[in-house]
Amino acid sequence: MNIDDLAAFAKAKGFFWPTAEIYGGIAGLYDYGHLGALLKRRFEQAWLSYFVESNDDYYLIDGANMLPDKPLIASGHAERFNDVLVGCSKCHTYYRADVTLADSGVKVSEGAGPKEIDELMKKHSVKCPKDKSDFLPSKAFNMMIDVHLNPERTEKGYLRPETAQTAYLNFFREFNVLRKSLPMGLAIIGRAYRNEISPRQGLYRMRELIQAELQIFFDPAAFPTPFEKFRKREVNVVPYSTKKQVRISVEGLCKDYGIPEFYAYHMALIDTFYREVLGVPEEKIHFLEKGGDEKAFYNKIHMDIEVDVESWGGFKEVGGLHYRGDYDLTSHTKGSNQDLSVSIDGKRVMPNVLELSFGVDRNVWMLVDIFYKIDGERKMLMLKPYLAPFTAAIFPLQKDEKINEAAKALHNELKAKFRVFVDEGGSIGRRYARMDEIGTPYCITVDFESVDKKSENYNTVTVRERDTKEQKRIKIPELGKFLEGKIALGF
């Protein structure tokens, strides 16, 4: 599917569309419709169960989307997000001023403002590399969206540019409240805001986005993991040194590429989530190692999790695994004057952070892209049953009082536990087709035998499976258990 087709499908069926659509929309903002909101929640629940709830040391927290400026100054965002851009007066191509100056051999001090940049440009007569024209006056560009936190509008603040900061800011309190031991993980599913220059490609680059992040705080001297479980597991990796994708075991990564065990273990954990929980095919996922200039300065090891998404034109980032060292807690120790190091076995330790970061919107888009299949006339969203917005649909076979009554009773029983859709309109085949397209895995039909006391099939219904189109009869009292078994997360 191409990007336009996916966006049209998402709109037509009720997954997502531009915010303020009736006013023409606004770049970088999207709203979720009912089906999209359900799909997003299913993804979030699967993520939470898999990465957080299955580990006794990891905890879900939540936090404010607005932050005062101090922590974001300490974290480096106020400065580092503040790029100065220069545009060519002729071709209007924009460049990062510090990079352009550096290319011309001019040294720029960190955090140089537009004034300083313009002076340097003039002094060294730096021109547009393309057509040798002069630059327009430079502009400061801050990726963070600023807000005022008091009525007088004097208290500066920002919408948080990443949920990670919320975890770092709450580390000290949680450490004391919870266990006073490491490793400790703090997970957040929440919104983050970035003033992107050019938001594009549907849910890929947004100005308001949802992140699912797990920050694991650990003692660098010891980060025990159940490494053995994944020792032989193979993952696709594109190492920075070769830029060529290899399929390599977790053990091999440690041996041949010097990746620490705890890091390699989490690569396998993430790979397993994508392949087994979400169902992404092996050849469509890899880790892209970032190094040199591509890597965020604080990261010791930085890999993007990329999935091959047709509507985005190839492998695109849906998440990241970052070994951030002790950068974050050290920065906030300096910024807040509160010592965030902790005492472990009698020695002071500044916890290191391993960050598992995922873009929820991107993953929702990715799921629709990967699992939407067209087979002749049939269109199917072949999501795993526990990810499907609706778990089941109930169809009365025909307009018949008894059948309708039975269908209604069944709906009342199931809706307490499952998201179930009742469809009475159109031929049975049309109703199956509608459910196939939005991914409903089970269609339950109440037919004449279901309500005929003389029939051996009395009090049973047919359950039709989306992927195989196969039908079987199930006793109505057993339906709840049947569906429960199908949508259970097995890990």
Partner RNA sequence: GCGAUUGUAGUCUAGCCUGGUAGGACGCUGCCUUGCCAAGGCAGUGACCCGGGUUCAAAUCCCGGCAGUCGCACCA
Of 23-31, 172-180, 238-246, 265-273, the segment contacting RNA by CB under 7 A is 23-31
- 111/117 Cα distance (integer angstroms): 10
Could you say whether residue 57 binds RNA (CB under 7 A)? Answer: no
DSSP 451: G
Nearer to RNA (CB atom), residue 234 or residue 424: 424
Which residues make beta-bridge pairs with 374?
A: 379
**Among 45, 49, 93, 272, which residue interacts with RNA (rule: CB under 7 A)?**
93
Instruction: Using the CB atoms, write b or e for 11-36: b if 16+ within 10 Å.
Output: eebbbbbbbeeeeeeeebebebbebb
Shortest CB 91 distance to RNA, Å: 6
Q: Which of residues 375-404 bind RNA (CB under 7 A)?
A: 377-379, 397-399
Nearer to RNA (CB atom), residue 12 or residue 60: 12
**Among 108, 149, 428, 489, which residue interacts with RNA (rule: CB under 7 A)?**
428
**Among 91, 102, 221, 409, which residue interacts with RNA (rule: CB under 7 A)?**
91
Of 21-29, 225-233, 278-286, 381-389, the segment contacting RNA by CB under 7 A is 21-29
Nearer to RNA (CB atom), residue 76 or residue 335: 76
**Among 316, 332, 434, 486, which residue interacts with RNA (rule: CB under 7 A)?**
434
Q: Give me the sign of the Cα torsion angle 154, 160, 165, 166.
A: positive
**Among 437, 459, 482, 489, which residue interacts with RNA (rule: CB under 7 A)?**
437
Nearer to RNA (CB atom), residue 56 or residue 377: 377
Q: Which of residues 294-313 bind RNA (CB under 7 A)?
A: 296-297, 313
Could you say whether residue 131 binds RNA (CB under 7 A)? Answer: no
**Among 64, 177, 197, 222, which residue interacts with RNA (rule: CB under 7 A)?**
197
Q: How far apart are the first and last CA of the chain?
A: 32
Shortest CB 20 distance to RNA, Å: 9
**Among 49, 55, 94, 234, which residue interacts with RNA (rule: CB under 7 A)?**
94
**Among 173, 200, 232, 475, which residue interacts with RNA (rule: CB under 7 A)?**
200
Could you say whether residue 76 binds RNA (CB under 7 A)? Answer: yes
- 375/381 Cα distance (integer angstroms): 11
Residue 372 makes CB contacts below 8 A (sequence gap 6+) with 1, 6, 9, 379, 380, 381, 382
**Among 37, 57, 81, 134, which residue interacts with RNA (rule: CB under 7 A)?**
81
Structure tokens at 191: 């919104």
Nearer to RNA (CB atom), residue 42 or residue 194: 194
**Among 433, 474, 482, 489, which residue interacts with RNA (rule: CB under 7 A)?**
433
Decide the pairing of beta strands 30-32 and 16-18.
Answer: antiparallel
- 174/342 Cα distance (integer angstroms): 12
Q: What's the Rg (C-alpha) of the chain?
A: 27
Query: How distant, in Å, are the alpha carbons of 172, 213, 298, 346 from that of 184?
Result: 11, 14, 20, 18
Structure tokens at 281: 């095919």
Q: How many residues contact RNA, by CB under 7 A?
A: 69
Taking CA 4 as the corner, what is the angle to CA 2 and CA 9, rounded to the nearest 5 degrees?
Answer: 95
- 25/117 Cα distance (integer angstroms): 36
- Residue type at position 382: M
Q: Which of residues 316-375 bind RNA (CB under 7 A)?
A: none
DSSP notation for 71-85: HHHHTTHHHHTEEEE
**Interface ranges with RNA (CB under 7 A):** 3-4, 7-8, 11-12, 18, 24-28, 76-77, 80-81, 83, 85, 87, 91-96, 99, 143, 162, 164, 194, 196-202, 205, 296-297, 313, 377-379, 397-399, 425-430, 432-434, 436-437, 445, 447-449, 452, 461-462, 464, 469-471
